Structure 1
Amino acid sequence: MSSSGRVRTNRARAERLALRLSQSRGLFTVYDAAGLALAAGDLDDVERWLIDRTRYPKPGPAAKPTPPAWAPWVDMFIAEQQAAKRRPGTITTRVKHLLVFARSRPDVTPMTVTRDDLVNYIGSQQWHPRTVHGVRASFRLFFRLLVDLGHRVDDPARTLPAVRIPRSVPRPCPDHVVRAVYASLEDDRLRTAVRITVETGLRRSEVARVRSADVEGRRDAHHLHVVGKGGHERSVPISNDLAELILSAPTEYLFAGRTGAPITSDHLGKLISQTLPGAWTAHTLRHRFATMAYQASNDLRAVQELLGHASPVTTAVYTRVADDAMRRAAEAAHIS
């Protein structure tokens, strides 16, 4: 689809949501009926934002309105995050963290929240440490902004307790399981999804948005252009066969729904996981890729780049050290 065609398509998506898509040179902004900017970025950014809301509205009652005492401050926070070029999905998550707290404490406002309010709120939740880590980060960003702009003198989130995230154990899906599942798949699209995940180590959200236009390079030097978390871009080498498979897709997105938009990452992840036996999941295929890539290269930095991790510490969590390698390492210390 041409660039102008994509713009028209996304304007139509916005209109169906009672929103307006505005373009200023290469910057696209989505506004609500009141003129509040909800998302901004390049065409890919706003397209993803609109698709997520057009195709897959969340079930259940409509979202509750923002508490009036919080509305202007949350709007300011959104504007600052957009100016910092944060991803629409990241902004949405951070705002959700703030609003869930605000609705749970109608007696406080951004100007009256205390450290104890935040500590007691976080401490009362049965959340995984990773969730706590994210909520804490959102609070710290929001209240630091209020202090930096002179709206508050103190920062109630500055000294919130740090969160220790337990170290995860790598769970690479066994090679014999992967090969057996791949050989048994009859659905071509699902077979392609499994192959891309296995051979590239992409996140399920990245696999869901693969397009034929993402294949770059030439024969024997093909790679897949990937936009990952935080909008970070990377190139993942792929084989000639996989490149040809992706290029032969009849739709812009390989895993498109009925409207041409990509299916959600959750849905794709479930489809892949359902093909795997036992407790193996789509994410364990990413662990498998990381483990095999490290065993083949012994280069943690290379694997880090392939996976799109910000830190090699994260990559280490994904890579399982082979038993024979650990045995050799341990035997080196033997005295008899």
Structure 2
Amino acid sequence: MTSRPMPGGWSTAVSSWLSWLRASGRPESTIKLRTTQLRRLAEAHPDRAPYSLSVDDLAEWLGAHAWAAETLRSHRAAVRGFYTWAHATGRAHVNPAAFLPTVKAAEGKPRPAPDPVIRSSRLRADPRDERMIRLASEAGLRSCEICKVHTDDVEPDMLGWSLRVKGKGGRVRLVPLSDGLASMLRNAPPGYVFPGRIEGHLSAAYVSKRLSRALDGDYTGHQLRHRFGSVAYSAERDLRAVQELLGHTRPETTARYVLVPDGAKRTAVMAAAS
């Protein structure tokens, strides 16, 4: 499907910025996201030249949407990136995004899907959905990572098998696999585990939708990832290890995925009281 064109002079300006992003090695997932975000800005100002907008125009546009904090932060980042590039390359005389107000990150709380829900969902899931559930709950993969799992990504390590995961920002990490999960992937037909029409595999959005439908109750694939982070942390109490397994760049992000076991809190209180 061909993306609809941007209005007026926006198309050329945004296209040049996207070329710059590609030259800097940004992954196509980021390019696609920034394209969508800048298109929204352009469609809100179809009769304005992109470099004629002021900081007030940008702030009014950002503030007019009932977006969650993380969505708002992401759109702000797109706007700042675009205008910082335009100013640095001489396309814009000023950078109207330089003084946009910061957006406070929402205080995330771990929301792991319960194990009984995962077990019952796996029992009634078809083989494809069960593989998705297992990759999210037992290996902590995002939907955008699950969709691109390839049988060639399973490789032997010193203790068994690991999965080479292509994560956000083009970052690659190795995630150790249980024997059962390794066997499931190694016995899959060669190629993408979830074949589809997006460069040979399913889209991340479709994987996310299937996970939500496959899980009993009001749970999502992302909550399977929270489940993985919480269980992985409870095993060794090593937040740094969980950070690497989840593919986070900052431990503060990982902390929002980890539900601290009640027993650990009680142990800490008893130690303080002794």
Higher relative contact order (CA 8 A, sep 6+): 2
Say which of 5, 8, 24 aligns to 1:68.
8
Say which of 289, 292, 297 aligns to 2:231.
292
Letter in 2 for 1:243: A
Q: Rg: which structure is higher?
A: 1
Give the Cα–Cα distance (whole angstroms) in 2 for the partners of residues 154 and 267 of structure 1: 41
- C-alpha RMSD of the superposition: 2.2
Give the Cα–Cα distance (whole angstroms) in 2 for the partners of residues 100 and 282 of structure 1: 27
Give the Cα–Cα distance (whole angstroms) in 2 for the partners of residues 152 and 296 of structure 1: 53
1:140 and 2:65 are equivalent in the alignment: no
Partner of 1:327: 266
Q: 1:191-230, aligned counterparts within 5 Å?
A: 191-217=130-156, 220-230=159-169
Does the aligned pair in 1 maintain the 2:8–2:46 contact within 8 Å? Answer: no
Structure 1 residue 112, shift from structure 2 partner: 1.3
Say which of 177, 181, 188 aligns to 1:242.
181
Partner of 1:307: 246
Partner of 1:318: 257
Does the aligned pair in 1 maintain the 2:141–2:225 contact within 8 Å? Answer: yes
Partner of 1:160: 100
> Can you list the C-alpha shifts for 1:92-130, whole angstroms capped at 9, x where unaligned?
221222222122113321221111110111111121111
Letter in 1 for 2:69: P
Aligned CA distance change for structure 1 residues 260 and 122 (closer, same or farther; 3 Å): closer
Structure 1 residue 90, shift from structure 2 partner: 0.8
Give the Cα–Cα distance (whole angstroms) in 1 for the partners of residues 125 and 42 of structure 2: 49
Partner of 1:87: 27
Partner of 1:43: none
1:109 and 2:109 are equivalent in the alignment: no
1:270 and 2:203 are equivalent in the alignment: no
Q: 1:40-79, aligned counterparts within 5 Å?
A: 57=1, 63-79=3-19
Structure 1 residue 232, shift from structure 2 partner: 0.5
Letter in 1 for 2:185: I
Partner of 2:128: 189
Structure 1 residue 215, shift from structure 2 partner: 0.4
1:173 and 2:113 are equivalent in the alignment: yes
Aligned CA distance change for structure 1 residues 64 and 189 (closer, same or farther; 3 Å): closer
Partner of 2:58: 118
Does the aligned pair in 2 maintain the 1:220–1:240 contact within 8 Å? Answer: no
Give the Cα–Cα distance (whole angstroms) in 2 for the partners of residues 308 and 258 of structure 1: 26
Does the aligned pair in 2 maintain the 1:253–1:262 contact within 8 Å? Answer: yes
> Can you list the C-alpha shifts for 1:300-327, whole angstroms capped at 9, x where unaligned?
1110000001111100000001112223
Structure 1 residue 219, shift from structure 2 partner: 7.8
Aligned CA distance change for structure 1 residues 203 and 331 (closer, same or farther; 3 Å): same
Aligned CA distance change for structure 1 residues 86 and 221 (closer, same or farther; 3 Å): same
Structure 1 residue 63, shift from structure 2 partner: 4.3
Q: Which runs of 5+ in 1 are unaligned?
A: 1-56
Aligned CA distance change for structure 1 residues 208 and 72 (closer, same or farther; 3 Å): closer
Letter in 1 for 2:58: L
Does the aligned pair in 1 maintain the 2:137–2:225 contact within 8 Å? Answer: yes
Letter in 2 for 1:207: I
Aligned CA distance change for structure 1 residues 260 and 248 (closer, same or farther; 3 Å): farther
What TM-score, normalized to structure 1? 0.75
Aligned CA distance change for structure 1 residues 178 and 122 (closer, same or farther; 3 Å): same
Structure 1 residue 264, shift from structure 2 partner: 2.1
Structure 1 runs (4+) deviating above 3 angstroms are 257-260, 330-335
Structure 1 residue 294, shift from structure 2 partner: 0.6
Does the aligned pair in 2 maintain the 1:114–1:156 contact within 8 Å? Answer: yes
Aligned CA distance change for structure 1 residues 220 and 66 (closer, same or farther; 3 Å): same
Give the Cα–Cα distance (whole angstroms) in 1 for the partners of residues 86 and 98 of structure 2: 12
Aligned CA distance change for structure 1 residues 330 and 214 (closer, same or farther; 3 Å): same
Q: Secondary structure at the match of 2:8?
A: coil
Q: Which runs of 5+ in 2 are unaligned?
A: none
Does the aligned pair in 2 maintain the 1:251–1:260 contact within 8 Å? Answer: no
Aligned CA distance change for structure 1 residues 187 and 67 (closer, same or farther; 3 Å): closer
Letter in 2 for 1:73: A
Q: Secondary structure at the match of 2:164?
A: strand
Size of the aligned set, in residue pairs, is 274
